[in-house]
Amino acid sequence: MSKAYFNYAGKRLLQAIVVILLSYVFTFVVVSILPGDPITNVLNNPQNGFTPDEIKEIIAAQGLDKPIPVQLWNAFSGFLTGDLGLSMRTNRPVATLIAEVLPSTLVLASAGLAVALLLAAIIAYGTQFLPQRFGQGLLRGFPSLFLSVPNFVIGLVLIHLFGFQLGVFRVIEPDSFWATLFAAIALGIPISAQIAEVLIANLDHESGQDYATVARGRGLSQMRLFVKHLLKPSSLPVITVVALTIGELLGGSLITETVFGRNGLGSLVQRSVSTQDLPVLQAVVSLAAVVFVVVNLIADLTYPLLDPRVKLLGTQQRRPTTADDSSLPISKAVTP
């Protein structure tokens, strides 16, 4: 690859590392400096049954008696060496807690993404084959409808219809195939809307291009035009959009897992929030940021290799007039 690409890749990599480190610090600041002292509140809560001596012990073990910057440094250096600390509630390593529930969330998130991609493809590519007036308008309405429905409502409706009414799956077995599939549908529907919107916008853009007009003039059927000419250029930019939806997949799984009663990362967060188990929250949020940044880094680095139309930022830097966003390597805007 060209020198411009390596320059760009180096810069993006460095930026990604900085963002990961900063997001750890940011999360730490949010959970530890904001008003209210959740830690002592929880420890002093009689329901948790700690004696004053035990409380002192926990506070010393967690290093909570030290000044905030020292605490930050200890936690931060632990994070860098892969030590995520101890859970305040269970006194077990946070890494173990996360490792226990991670597979369940990975299954749900990847199934959700698969559902989202499939739905988005059906909606967006469907618009190419339906009559302008009726069918297309209907399909084009789907993304904005999907974006207006809270995803816990989708989950509840699926549970009500398929779990209770039709008996396709049993609600008390959340890890069964059908229950997972419906959870994935609930998670995937709002995300499919975002992908579909971008796909539709790209398809509209491409089919208005001169080359599409020429192809139509040569007598190509809509089917051939779509498969041969429109499919690839309109679908490639979706890679960056999919990478951006990773955050939504992780955030959405928090709700979906609660609705379907799955034991995953989301329900771990849910439990840690209600017990104010800050080390766990800190770890999960930082890991989510790491995943988001790494996935987007990969997308940004591979995309210029896949799509030759992309001009790298390095070639544009001489022109300060572009209002390009620094995190997008694409000169064409792909946002809806």
Partner 1 sequence: MTLASISSTPRATLVDRLTGLRVPPVVVLSFLVVALAIAWSLAPGLFTGYDPVSGTPAQKLLGPSAAHWFGTDHLGRDLYARIVYGTASSVASALIAVVIGVVVGGIIGLLAGFFGGWVDTVFARLVDVLLAIPKFLLAVIVVTAIGFDTTNAAIATGVSAVALFARVMRSEVIKTRQATFVESSFLLGGSRWHILWRHVLPNASRSVLPLAVLQFGDSILVIASLAFLGYGDPPPASDWGLLISIGKDYLKWPWLVYAPALVTIATVLSVNRISRWLRKTD
Interface residues toward partner 1, by CB under 8 A: 15, 18-20, 22-23, 26-27, 30-31, 34-36, 38, 144-145, 147-153, 156-157, 159-160, 164, 246-248, 250-252, 254-255, 258-259, 269-270, 273-274, 276, 281, 284-285, 288-289, 292-293, 321, 323-327
If the CB atoms of residues 32 and 90 are measured against partner 1, the closer one turns out to be 32
Placement of tokens 């190419």 in the chain: 128
Give the shortest CB-142-to-partner 1 separation in angstroms: 12
**Closest by CA position to 23, among listed 326, 283, 243, 328:** 283
In whole angstroms, the minimum distance from the beta carbon of 204 to partner 1 comes to: 14
**How open is the CA angle 113-115-121, to the nearest 5 degrees?**
100
Token output for 319: 């022109």
Instruction: Map residue 93 onto helix, strand or coil.
Output: strand
Kindly state the smallest distance separating residue 107's Cβ from partner 1, in Å.
Answer: 18
Smaller CB separation from partner 1, 9 or 246: 246
> Quick one: tokens of 252?
């959405």
Please report which residue ranges of 89-209 form alpha helices under DSSP H: 94-126, 137-146, 151-158, 177-207
Nearer to partner 1, 170 or 232 (CB): 170
Nearer to partner 1, 189 or 235 (CB): 189
CB of 232 to partner 1, least distance (A): 28
Question: Minimum distance between the CB of residue 5 and partner 1, rounded to whole angstroms?
Answer: 21
Contacts of 250 (CB under 8 A, 6+ apart): 105, 109, 265, 288, 291, 292
The residue among 229, 195, 181, 206 whose CA lies nearest residue 118 is: 195
User: Which of 235, 245 has the CB closer to partner 1?
Assistant: 245
Q: Which is nearer to partner 1, 219 or 308 (CB)?
A: 219
d(CA 236, CA 202): 10
Rounded to the nearest whole angstrom, what is the least distance from the CB of residue 231 to partner 1 in the complex? 25
